[in-house]
Chains A and B, each alone.
Chain A
């Protein structure tokens, strides 16, 4: 037996562990498959081909219409909702992030804030949407507030990571040369946090574009409402043009956001 073979045999093998995990997995799969059947709707195939047809032959007048009912205006509205919402969320998340950072506040307070953040994060966006419609009435404004609240959870979580990794040595040396508290915050803390915060914000903006496009389903502005009306009315050409516009816009935003973030991270 060569050394290589000996080493190969000596490698630890945890068959029992793997077996247990895969058994549990198989049981779960078998259990979950019960809910699914690939049975199609009577005219399911017809609708599927209609959708494909709509995507291939979009309603071009609707797509390039510049009035308030055209796709371009709706996309612009969706973009505005995502931008303002991200900003609202980013501002609200800062104090929460500081309150949840265990190197700033005592442990129990940090833990409580984290619990609050978990709650904020788990409530689905559509629920917030419906709640804010009570506040502002249906329209894009409700969408802005919804996007703001839903962004808080993730933004605060990523902010906290940045805050907990703050380099304290810089602050100590600034104290030692006699800097005031304001100077310490301005030149010691902000430069460390700003680029990470901005990068997180841009990433979230990218995600919010997708969120904002579905909020219309509950009447909170953006492109979702026309989409669902077009689908309910079986106007597949309009559905096609909305989807094409949406996908193109999201791809452009994603491209720009990736560029900006690499620039921010690499300095």
Chain B
């Protein structure tokens, strides 16, 4: 289609042969992107003028945050622990539930098409729901804020780990699985001894990676009333107490960094 509208350039080589060089699509793509950007700027009211005039407000807040309020430490610790508990429990249970879900979603283990597609659809629907929205819904249903947060993290972990796991299972080498079935093992046994060893390192490493991300996510869940350090973030911003906010951010950075380092250590060991 594109080649018909913009015919390829003809280049005559010294030996008389004619070669065709296809026109680059870059200008067209660039034009489309520019139009999209122009309309986006219109819709969002983007203006450099405002940024230049008012950006100092942003840095005032940053400067306030750089003078952390160390006394706030004692208030942060319990909420931080709640955040960690929420993300840890949600991730563990989510990763465990993701295993059967992924098996049921993979076409090479379960040969019934309907079941596969049902589970795949459920997994991708769960993945598209923003965690904060799930948490918000959960706060309406459950009594304890931390439970709502855990449920949100649990659902996200299932979808994330489940998707990567069923992709791994579908790409696994099926030869040994078939061999085991042929000598009379049941499909479950064959799965346990042929497929599990292949996907296990990837599965554990994905779960750890997901846990890392969940700690970061759990930090904001409190904003919608789902427990954890987000409550404090919400409060300090409400009171414009930016030095306490700075303290929260510092604690959060330390925690996230520690967890990332630990999980990276184990992930390197797994692969």
Contacts and interface: CB of A to CB of B under 8 A. Distances in A.
Given A76-B43, A122-B253, A144-B44, A134 B57 contact: yes
Interface in B74-98: 82, 84-86, 88-89, 92
Nearest to B141: A44
Contacts of A76: 43
Interface in B83-130: 84-86, 88-89, 92, 124-125, 128-130
A141 B128 contact: no
B36 A132 contact: no
Contacts of A37: 143-144, 147
A119 to B, nearest CB: 6
Contact of A250 (B88, B128, B144): B128
A169 to B, nearest CB: 26
The secondary structure that dominates the A interface is helix
A171 B50 CA distance: 42
Contacts, number: 164
Interface stretch (A24-32, A59-67, A102-110): A24-32
A9 interface: no
B37 interface: yes
Contacts of A132: 58
Contacts of A84: 37, 40-41, 44, 46
Contacts of B3: none
Interface residues of B, number: 57
A124 B89 contact: no
A130 interface: yes
Given A127-B249, A145-B51, A217-B224, A47 B140 contact: yes
A41 B140 contact: yes
B133 A39 contact: no
B252 interface: yes
Interface of B: 36-37, 39-41, 43-47, 50-51, 54-55, 57-58, 61-62, 82, 84-86, 88-89, 92, 124-125, 128-130, 132-133, 136-137, 140-144, 146-147, 150, 216, 219-220, 223-224, 227, 230, 233, 237, 245, 249, 252-253, 256-257
6 contacts: A34-B85, A37-B144, A44-B143, A80-B39, A134-B58, A141-B45
Interface of A: 25, 28-29, 31-41, 44-45, 47-48, 51, 76-77, 79-81, 83-84, 87, 118-119, 122-127, 130-132, 134-136, 139-141, 143-145, 210-211, 213-214, 217-218, 221, 227-228, 231, 243, 246-247, 250-251, 254
Given A83-B36, A131-B58, 6 more contacts: A35-B146, A41-B140, A83-B40, A127-B233, A214-B130, A217-B223
